[in-house]
Amino acid sequence: MQSEKLENYIQQYRDNLLNDVIPFWLKNSFDEKFGGFFTCLDKTGKVYDTDKFVWLQNRQIWCFAMLYNQVEKKKEWLDFAIQGAEFMKLNGRDANGNWYFALNREGNPLVQPYNIFSDCFASMAFGQLYVATGNESYGKIAVDTFHGILRKQDNSKGIYNKLYPGTRSMQSFSLPMILSNLVLELETLLDPELVQRTMKNAIHSVMEVFYQPELGLILENVSEEGEFVDCFEGRLINPGHGLEAMWFMMDLGNKLSDPELIRKAVDISLNILEYGWDKEHGGILYFKDVKGAPPLQLEWDQKLWWVHVETLVCMLKGYMYTGDQRCWDWFEKVHEYTWSHFADPQDGEWFGYLNRQGAVLSPAKGGKWKGCFHVPRGLYQCWKVLELIDKKKAILSV
């Protein structure tokens, strides 16, 4: 690949992050009256709903703290993160330290703490903000929340679990997947032995329990014993989840100096992408049934922003770590689809939801599920990995 092409990609991802996406959230999402962030933003950034979803609040805190730590010590970014964190410190948890799912604008709880991902992103946010500020209270919240996640991981919904016990007990892919990334986020705050144990358990769970070698794919749910269950949930494949998890695995493989783990993650990611790609209309399908039955989710054939941006990261990391040309070819294919369908050069940021044919389903730039996270994180990751690829090629050409 030509150095000029690489530089163009680097500039595209960097500029969209710093000159488009981040300014969009800075301008439109700050609640000046009560603190925290508005995430329900229409096409132009106008607020259309003021409810505050805890996992999205914490994701946005993480994003601005991370940019402060990794890109530039901009006071505006840090102040933005801190005011969000103070709003969450005051309102985000119940008396036992569990993080609610949703608050109203003023910070009063709307939805009970049934969703452990509120806790995951709180831990991630306050850990990153601790790095930025050295504020011990932020570090304590991050660590206490992390330990709470580990305590709850076998029954994450607790008293809010609506399933009848014992009939069809299953384990979900989402939590071990997130822990494989979260443990690296908090590494400097945690006991080294706990870090090693959590990494080992996450790798085993992702790569040995949920990954099905005979399929070359990752299931979203398996039995408590790690076996396939022939029901809607057991047959479910979420290509985006698998691809996001594989770049987490690659980073763990790099940290642990384990090229076999990296290679295995690259091979799995290529299988998932080939399986999930819509060969008729392009783009990556949201859900598939591993037996080819009609999926339970009516939105199965939609194309979602986060699936595509996480795939871009995954393919670039696969290419950077292994030099596998298939990763680069897929990156360019997914890049072309993503930038021609999701990015909005007119009003800024990215659309989140397309129909199968690629037309925009919702003009909103944020809501209950989409906030300031996957797009900026993905743009940052792609920018930095592209720079590393460029540097590696420059060294090899000398």
Structure tokens at 34: 């009560």
pLDDT of residue 158: 87
> Any alpha helices (H) in 41-188, and if so which ranges?
54-70, 75-91, 116-133, 136-152, 174-185
**Stretch 8-13: mean pLDDT, rounded?**
98
Task: Compute the distance between CA of residue 221 and CA of residue 203 in angstroms, rounded to an integer.
Answer: 16
pLDDT of residue 159: 86
Nearest Cα residue to 310 out of 384, 212, 363, 242: 242
Structure tokens at 41: 């933003």
Structure tokens at 222: 């398996």
Nearest Cα residue to 203 out of 161, 136, 256, 149: 256
With a pLDDT cut of 90, the percent of the chain lying above it is 94
Per-residue CA distances from 335 to 244, 305, 327, 379 (Å): 16, 12, 12, 11
**Stretch 149-171: mean pLDDT, rounded?**
90
**Stretch 250-271: mean pLDDT, rounded?**
98
**Stretch 174-180: mean pLDDT, rounded?**
97
pLDDT of residue 1: 61
**Stretch 347-375: mean pLDDT, rounded?**
98
**Stretch 325-332: mean pLDDT, rounded?**
98
Quick check: 164 pLDDT over 60?
A: yes
Give the phi and the psi of residue 217 in degrees, each rounded to 5.
-130, 170
Quick check: 54 pLDDT over 90?
A: yes
Task: Compute the distance between CA of residue 87 and CA of residue 37 in angstroms, rounded to an integer.
Answer: 9
Residue 27 binned pLDDT confidence (cut-offs 50, 70, 90): very high
Which of 382-385's residues contact partners 24+ apart within 8 Å by CB, and which partners?
382/9, 382/13, 382/312, 382/313, 382/316, 383/10, 383/13, 383/14, 383/17, 385/313, 385/316, 385/317, 385/320
Measured N-to-C along each axis, helices 325-341 and 259-276 cross at an angle, to the nearest 10 degrees, of 50
Which range has the worst mean pLDDT, 147-161, 165-179, 361-375, 384-398? 384-398
pLDDT, tens only, 106-130: 999 999 999 999 999 999 999 999 9
**Stretch 321-338: mean pLDDT, rounded?**
98
pLDDT of residue 167: 92
Residue 349 binned pLDDT confidence (cut-offs 50, 70, 90): very high
Quick check: 166 pLDDT over 90?
A: no
- 145, 99 in Cβ contact below 8 A? yes
Task: Compute the distance between CA of residue 277 and CA of residue 168 in angstroms, rounded to an integer.
Answer: 31
**Stretch 308-330: mean pLDDT, rounded?**
98
Quick check: 397 pLDDT over 80?
A: no
Higher pLDDT, 154 or 248: 248
pLDDT of residue 398: 52
- 388, 320 in Cβ contact below 8 A? yes
Strand partners, 93: 99
**Stretch 320-339: mean pLDDT, rounded?**
98
**Stretch 285-313: mean pLDDT, rounded?**
98
Walk me through the domains of the chain, giving residue ranges and CATH numbers.
1-30+173-398 (1.50.10.10), 37-162 (1.50.10.20)
pLDDT of residue 46: 98
Q: Which helix (DSSP H) or strand (DSSP E) does residue 300 occupy?
A: none
Per-residue CA distances from 218 to 27, 142, 310 (Å): 39, 29, 16
Q: In terms of C-beta density within 10 A (0-12 exposed, 13-18 middle, 19 or more buried), how is residue 355 classed?
A: middle
pLDDT of residue 82: 98
pTM of the shown model: 0.97
**Stretch 288-317: mean pLDDT, rounded?**
98
